[in-house]
A and B are shown apart, each in its own frame.
Chain A
Amino acid sequence: MKLTGSEIFVESLKCEGVKTIFGIPGGVVLKLFDVLHQQNDVEVVLTRHEQGAIHMAEGHAKATGKAGVALVTSGPGMTNIVTGLADAMMDSVPLVAFTGQVPTSLIGNDAFQEADNIGISRPCTKHNVLVKDVKDLATVIKEAFYIANTGRPGPVLVDIPKDVTTESAEFHYPDKVSLRGYRPTVSGNRFQIKQAAGEILKAKRPVIYVGGGAVFSGAANEVRELADLTQIPVTMTVMGLGSFPGTHPLCMGMLGMHGTYCANMAMHEADLLIAVGARFDDRVTGKLSEFSPRARVIHIDIDPTSIKKNVHAHIPIVGDVKVVLKELVQVLSSMDGNPTSVKAQRRPWLKQVNAWSAEHPLAYQQEGKKQTKPQYVIDKAYELTKHKAIVVTDVGQHQMWAAQYFKSGLQRTFLTSGGLGTMGFGFPAAIGAQKAYPNKTVLCITSEGSFQMNLQELAVAAIYKLPVKIILLNNQFHGMVRQWQDLFYEGRYASSDLGNTPDFVKLAEAYGILGLRSEEPADVEAVLKEGLKHKGPVMMDFAIDRFENCYPMIPAGGAQHEMVLEDPPQLKTARKPSRKKGEDADAVLPA
């Protein structure tokens, strides 16, 4: 049977099991939206900005593990999703973004709303394709989903000219793809795995360093088996959180720039690193020349380019985390040595690790009458939602506090923008995650800087009745920027003071959303409880200590073990925010 390109598009989405797409229409994609409008299998969420659409698709994808889908028009529609594509590329988020294009006959003529979608998106997609002939459309879509979801996941852009949406072709959705240039390696080399097992048995101070790859692979059980069997302490990157229970005795928490003292010290002193789907990002390694100086490295990653890129791997293993760890655990269990001897052998190292952890645990002090500490709000939110919530964060101090204090016990329940660090990601991504799981509690932990970058999507939360719980840690600062200025720019707050932020309670109310405000520590729990109980979306605006800094912190360019653990003395004395004339922030500070 012959179908139009638009019908092929919709039928293909159905074949992929897509239930929701996010987007905004425009001239060249009207036909696609028209066909979508006349069916009920694929729901269109009309966002208020294309950046909202692409981050919602990311949130949907991060929560479910399956490619999120966005549909936007040519020109400005496409350029508005570029940040989301780059974000997804960095964080390996599976996405298929459909962009409209001017009719094939006009391409290259500077036609109305023409942009070189393929050229613009090439460096920030895993793959992209311009569909020139309606006959190719189904195959291109099939391949796009396949590429996005397999191997190291990532965003794929499919550019569809207007005439391709209207012309007809025979529809046949392929069962299989054959891409001769794309065959990800899934199972690891047996010999290398045996070598790795040998190293593990020899090691005296080993660390398991778990990254996002363990999440994409769904390998929480395997990570746990490896740790339990070998009694090796575990640390996670911000992207790996949830892969190992935060409450497990072998868990050292997050590592890196704002990681725990314990995790960073253990990394520094280790004689063996078992990197599991982690890419030795500079926020993790700190100064490379002093990174884990005594460690041999086993590196498991599905993407060969991640291996030996920043840090040399003595035993590289290309493959899927879950498959490789299964085999590694099998090999280890069949080797000599009984569990009690492993425990005995590991005792001195674990004793040292526990000592570090006791020496400088994550801590804050909430005094009753003083200002609310952001960590206190997060801690309370964690207590109230333990292991039941999906936490989605924006970017800044609040993100790092959330990573530190939310001891996620499950994968895909801590969603954040790590690699690109995209402010404005959090709220739309939370909406996307909520759309995927309408009955779960979804918390959006944000701050006024990030939130104001995509607040227009409040309309979507309200209209689609998506009960996202917004926890806005309001410091009226680009807090993370202010922290760097405090530490490295002698406290000159150049363009980091957000001063006149809007009244977020009223703002929420303007969209028909419940707004709650917490002004002091005594309010925190009540506001959280009321917000969590409420059936619809909620904006909870927490006035917090404006000058709280996030520690530990490895200063940029510093070595792993050179952490700053608290405000240096000069910061403990009074601080005055510098404000330009005419900016009267106090006027809108909650009284």
Chain B
Amino acid sequence: MEHVISVLVENNPGVLARVAGLFSARGYNIESLSVAPTPDATVSMITVVTSGDEVIIEQIMKQLNKVIEVLKVVDLTEEDHIERETALIKILTKQAQQRDEAIRIAEIFRANIVDSTPQTYTFEVSGDAGKIQAVINRLKPMGIKEIVRTGRIAIARDAL
């Protein structure tokens, strides 16, 4: 099963290599990985999406915790949480008819068209993995030129 794990780490050079190296050395999957600063400049947040059975996920959590520069590890899959990913999708829109269609799709999925040239539109779409896949599927017939995705990030929902 897929697990989204957030890993709070010291903002030191080499920390990402330590975390990524741990996954590769022990043969754990990384389906996506994102790193970003946090409001505390000394700390960064790594979000890893991985998969494995219960025993493997337990090992992954423990192994991550064992890294000296790791401060906190949370398996968000175990709690109520929100996941987001952003994709930038560049499509071919040579004909006017395609442009109209693209705008309609953007409206339906609440995506933004953030750039345009005579031949292309660039979509920005944000949501969970399912939504992004749906947009990609809809745009595919028009001809996708390029897709760039951020990888997933997630945050726990607080209890009311």
Q: Interface on A for B, CB 8 Å cutoff? A: 118-119, 122-123, 126-127, 130, 147, 179-182, 303-305, 308-309
Contacts and interface: CB of A to CB of B under 8 A. Distances in A.
Given A122-B17, A122-B18, A122-B21, A308 B55 contact: yes
Interface in B37-64: 55, 58-59, 62-63
B65 A304 contact: yes
30 contacts: A119-B17, A122-B14, A122-B17, A122-B18, A122-B21, A123-B21, A123-B25, A126-B68, A130-B13, A130-B14, A147-B68, A179-B68, A180-B71, A181-B9, A181-B10, A181-B67, A181-B68, A181-B70, A181-B71, A182-B68, A304-B62, A304-B65, A304-B66, A305-B59, A305-B62, A305-B63, A305-B66, A308-B55, A308-B59, A309-B59
Contacts, number: 35
Q: Which of A118, A123, A180, A181 is most buried by chain B, counting CB atoms within 10 A of its CB?
A: A181
Contacts of A182: 68
Contact of A118 (B10, B14, B68, B71): B14
Nearest to A151: B66
Closest 8 A-B residue pairs measured CB to CB?
A: A305-B62, A304-B62, A182-B68, A127-B68, A181-B71, A123-B25, A181-B68, A181-B70
Nearest to B72: A181
B75 interface: no
Interface in B3-47: 9-10, 13-14, 17-18, 21, 25
Interface residues of B, number: 20
Interface of B is mostly: helix
A123 B66 CA distance: 13
Contacts of A179: 68
Q: Which of B17, B58, B68 is most buried by chain A, counting CB atoms within 10 A of its CB?
A: B68
B85 interface: no
A304 B18 CA distance: 19
B62 to A, nearest CB: 4
Nearest to B25: A123
A127 B66 CA distance: 10
A119 B66 CA distance: 18
Contacts of A122: 14, 17-18, 21
B46 to A, nearest CB: 13
B18 to A, nearest CB: 6
Contacts of A123: 21, 25
Contacts of B9: 181
Interface of B: 9-10, 13-14, 17-18, 21, 25, 55, 58-59, 62-63, 65-71
Contacts of B10: 181
Contacts of B69: 181
Contacts of B59: 305, 308-309
B159 to A, nearest CB: 26
A118 B15 CA distance: 11
Nearest to B14: A118
Contacts of B14: 118, 122, 130
Contacts of B17: 119, 122
Given A130-B13, A305-B66, 17 more contacts: A118-B14, A122-B18, A122-B21, A123-B21, A123-B25, A126-B68, A147-B68, A179-B68, A180-B71, A181-B9, A181-B67, A181-B71, A303-B66, A304-B65, A305-B59, A308-B58, A309-B59
A181 to B, nearest CB: 5
A257 B9 CA distance: 40
A126 B69 CA distance: 11
A248 B19 CA distance: 46
Nearest to A119: B17
Q: Which of A119, A122, A127, A305 is most buried by chain B, counting CB atoms within 10 A of its CB?
A: A305
A314 to B, nearest CB: 14
Nearest to B70: A181
Nearest to B18: A122
Contacts of B63: 305
B13 to A, nearest CB: 8
A354 B17 CA distance: 52
Contacts of A126: 68
A179 B10 CA distance: 10
Nearest to B12: A129
Nearest to B54: A308
A182 B68 CA distance: 5
Contacts of B71: 180-181
Nearest to A128: B14
Nearest to B43: A180
Contacts of B21: 122-123
A532 to B, nearest CB: 44
B131 to A, nearest CB: 35
A182 B71 CA distance: 8
B67 to A, nearest CB: 7
